[in-house]
Amino acid sequence: MKDIILTDPLPEFFLPHTQARCELRYFDSATDADFAASRGILAYGHVTIDAEMMDRCPQLQVISNHGVGVDHIDLQAAAARGIPVGNTPGCVDAATADLTIALMLATARKLVVSDAFARGEEFTRYNPALLIGQEVTGSTLGIIGMGRIGCEVARRAQAFQMRLLYHNRTRRPDAEAELGVQYRSLDDLLQESDFVSLNCPLTPETTGMIGAAEFAKMKSSAILLNLARGQVVDTQALYEALRDEKIQAAGLDVTDPEPLPRDHPLLRLSNVIITPHLGSATGRTRHTMMQRTLENLFAGLDGQPLPNEVK
């Protein structure tokens, strides 16, 4: 038996398979002895796996992350200890791109306030001036982060005949040729876009990338979509930009902090739609993610190379 620490429960479907190979210990109730005995950590995104945690687990052979983003794992500390880190690239792209488009349409067409209105007393008759939104079709979409998810967003946006801009740490001539996306500096992308979609990883370079100065460059009609990580955006600056209508709306699948405190002023604004970090939350994607997470975990426990190791 190889003990593993999980930061969250496993879906029931995977329990028998996993329990046949491992003793499961849950992070919240794990004792010092459990940490000391654990050979693997199965990490979900919201628990930080830092050097201190690794040192509590002297027998650790593998950290397997359920998801792509590994910003919550100290990769240097893991490398220094010779602990491989696995993640699940590829399988979250379609679902996350789908939700990007869902939030784009929902914010542009004011779906959440419209739903509330349609259920309320005020809706007494059709009114052509009611809840006028923005046309997505033919608008300009600026994608920040032209990785696998960004490319999937572009692919979907083509169906809306959108003009597609992107900003990335490196140029992507392959994506430019295949998807017709045009490279822009960050400033130019912010100035030209009707929708700005954040689909980048959280790194030192992207932390706080969108703040007051960036909102000032955006169109007052612009809509921000964040499917990346909350920390890419300065939350206070975002709140002020939405409150003061420096931008029109935001669709956020991630926030900083996450969740926002229940009395956070951002939660009182009607021009923001927030989903609770659901980018990859479809049955099919979750299933594949867990399969890949367990493949990495078991390979690490067996001393084999991980099928998807973060380098």
Q: Which amino acids are annotated catalytic?
A: 229, 258, 277
Q: Interacting stretch for ligand 8YV, rule CB under 6 A, among 27-35, 63-71, 240-248, 259-267?
A: 63-71
Nearest by Cα to 297 from 139, 102, 65: 65
Nearer to ligand 8YV, 44 or 117 (CB): 44
Among 25, 30, 40, 45, which residue interacts with ligand 8YV (rule: CB under 6 A)? Answer: 45
* Token code pair at residue 144: 């920040």
* Token code pair at residue 70: 């590994």
Is residue 300 classed as helix, strand or coil in its secondary structure? helix
**Please, how many CA atoms are within 13 Å of residue 59, restricted to the half-sphere of its CB?**
14
Q: Report whether 69 contacts 206 (CB < 8 A).
A: no
Q: How far is CA 185 from the centre of its chain?
A: 23
Q: In degrees rounded to 5, what are phi and psi of residue 44?
A: -95, 170
* Residue 276 to residue 25: CA distance in whole angstroms: 26
Nearer to ligand 8YV, 8 or 240 (CB): 8
Q: Is 92 in the site for ligand 8YV (CB under 6 A)?
A: yes
Nearer to ligand 8YV, 230 or 300 (CB): 230
Burial-class residue 254 by CB neighbours within 10 Å (0-12, 13-18, 19+).
buried
Q: How many residues make contact with ligand 8YV (CB under 6 A)?
A: 9
Owner of token pair 């867990």: 290
Q: Is 64 in the site for ligand 8YV (CB under 6 A)?
A: no
Nearer to ligand 8YV, 45 or 150 (CB): 45
Q: Is 68 in the site for ligand 8YV (CB under 6 A)?
A: yes
Q: Is 67 in the site for ligand 8YV (CB under 6 A)?
A: yes
Alpha helices in 28-110 (DSSP H): 32-37, 51-56, 75-80, 93-108
Q: Is 233 in the site for ligand 8YV (CB under 6 A)?
A: no
Contacts of 136 (CB under 8 A, 6+ apart): 104, 105, 108, 109, 160, 162, 195
To ligand 8YV, the closest distance from the beta carbon of 253 in angstroms equals 9
Q: Is 280 in the site for ligand 8YV (CB under 6 A)?
A: yes
To ligand 8YV, the closest distance from the beta carbon of 98 in angstroms equals 12
Q: Interacting stretch for ligand 8YV, rule CB under 6 A, among 65-73, 215-223, 233-241, 294-302?
A: 65-73
To ligand 8YV, the closest distance from the beta carbon of 27 in angstroms equals 13
Task: Note the residue count of the chain.
Answer: 311
- Nearest 5 degrees, angle CA 120-CA 122-CA 128? 115
To ligand 8YV, the closest distance from the beta carbon of 123 in angstroms equals 36
* Token code pair at residue 73: 């794992």
Q: Is 279 in the site for ligand 8YV (CB under 6 A)?
A: yes
Q: Interacting stretch for ligand 8YV, rule CB under 6 A, among 25-33, 64-72, 171-179, 214-222?
A: 64-72
Nearer to ligand 8YV, 42 or 154 (CB): 42
Q: Is 300 in the site for ligand 8YV (CB under 6 A)?
A: no
Where does this chain bind ligand 8YV (CB under 6 A)? 44-45, 66-69, 92, 279-280
